[in-house]
Amino acid sequence: MKFEKLKEISFHYKVSIKKVLTVFNKTATITENKGFGLVIDDENKCIGVISDGDIRNKIVLGLDINSPVKDAMNKKYVFVKDSDNYHTVLRQFDKKITNLPVLNENGVPVDLFQYSKFLASTRSEAKIIRARVPVRISYSGGGTDFSHYINEIESTVLSSTINKYCTASVIIRDDQEIHITSKDLGISYNSKSLSQMQFGDKLDLLKAAIKIMEPKYGFNLETFAELEPGTGLGGSSAIVVAVIGALNYFQNENQLDIYQIADLAYQVERIDMKIIGGWQDQYSTAFGGFSCIEFRKNDVVVNPILLRRETLLELEYNLMLFRLGSNRSSSEIQKRHQKNIAKNHNIFKKINLLTINMKDALLKGDVKLFGDLLHDSWLLKKKMNDKITNPFVDECYNLAIELGALGGKLLGAGSSGYLLFYVSPLYQFKVKKALAKKGVNQEMFKFNQSGLEVWTTKRGELI
């Protein structure tokens, strides 16, 4: 925090000692309970410091009280530059200094470090708070995680996170303004305060995530998503979790736990922003890794799946991810899906059982069975909603199966985004080449095991 009354203790070198003493009577309480001031020249450069002790010594030697302050100032004063690190500052305080002027490169005073406040305030350098959240692949159970369904019948979703990320970076400001920048969308928004923040653009999801955290301070927020929205990897949930996670850093003893963060992210997307969808994305991205998420009638429990290293490596080696080259409105597809929930109860039960079998296959290291079950899961999911797929998706899927893929599925709500296949290495080149001819290209990925990660770094010129 800056020393706010720097001007009050700054004296032009021609000001009389008598005037300085008058000011000292008012400012001693803010300068370590002793008279202290900075002496500046016509260009506002600091040329010395003055204390009540300096004045007493000079008066004893016969200096007139009406003399200019420059005649009593200490020219060999101790100071630091505003570019000095705090180790350097601490060494200056080791010289028994209590008031330490801070000068810029031109010698102009910009701050005053006081020893009594040094540990509590100036010791803390401005930092960037970053939160990174991976996106997820849902293998089975997606679509059975809607409130309408899990309020009546328990459901299970099997998912993992991969090394595609959404990141939020926060720098605290000295005022109440909130500045938002989306690097991937290339758009920005500024507001004078939280209460004045207006909705109505492509950054509304970020604004809703900010609003729900009720920050009492101004800040710059910068976000970056390594994927386009609407591609079926839970990117919108990941970016919301990232923003909440970054702002949660400033909650101190009131920090939210990971379940609370996931719940808040759901509230932002599904309730505040009215984006129709289920519960899995917020929990999958926040927790990270392979997980079997149980949606009970009155609770959610995330069960991390600890797979053997060789199982992870083999699964990673056999799974292929293909970008369809388009995106879609998940909410529109989910609306239709939501209407079909009542008549899909039997399908949901079969999917739930299949999800458990897929989890067991992974735990036993039977990745080939997992690939077969992935195909069965896709066939069941297509029965839930005729908008989940389309002729082009079916064409690509059937082609991959004909060329040797054991199974696969379209990720997300449906119609576009990413296709995932389990393909033996023997057939991978054929599948990759055939789909590339249709403009569907493979994207490499690896599993992520971390979920939400928050860290700090020193502030630079840019976030």
Question: Any idea what DSSP says for residue 16?
Answer: B
- The Cα 341–Cα 413 span in angstroms is 14
Cα 96 from Cα 195, distance rounded (Å): 46
At 447, list the tokens: 């599993």
In the numeric block, which tokens belong to residue 273? Answer: 């922003």
Considering just the CA atoms, what is the radius of gyration of the chain in Å? 31
Start-end of H helices in 288-436: 309-318, 330-339, 345-363, 367-384, 391-402, 425-436
Identify which of 179, 260, 163, 161 has the alpha carbon closest to the alpha carbon of residue 213: 260
**CA gap 428, 298 in Å, rounded:** 43
Contact predicate 363/371, CB 8 Å:
no
Angle at 59 between CA 56 and CA 64, to 5 degrees: 135
CA distance 81 to 110: 9
Which one is catalytic: 71, 94, 281, 386? 281
| Token pair for 435 | 């789909």
Per the annotation, the verdict on 281 as an active-site residue is: yes
Query: What is the rounded CA–CA span in Å between residue 265 and residue 280?
Result: 11
Tell the burial category of 207 from Cβ atoms under 10 Å away from its Cβ (0-12, 13-18, 19+).
buried
Asked if 168 and 322 count as a contact pair (C-beta separation under 8 A), the reply is no
Parallel, antiparallel or unpaired: strands 178-182 and 219-225: parallel
Type of residue at 423:
V
CA proximity to 318, closest of 405, 382, 237, 199: 405
Q: Provide the residue type at 145 as one letter.
A: D
Distances (CA, A) of 79 to 11, 88, 107: 17, 11, 10
Using DSSP's 3-state secondary structure scheme, residue 313 falls into: helix
- 424, HSE (Cβ side, Cα atoms, 13 Å): 10
Q: Please answer whether residues 417 and 440 qualify as being in contact, where contact means their C-beta atoms are separated by less than 8 angstroms.
A: no
CB of 365 closer than 8 Å to CB of 308: yes
Q: Is 82 helix (H, G, I), strand (E, B) or coil?
A: coil
Which residues are annotated as catalytic? 281
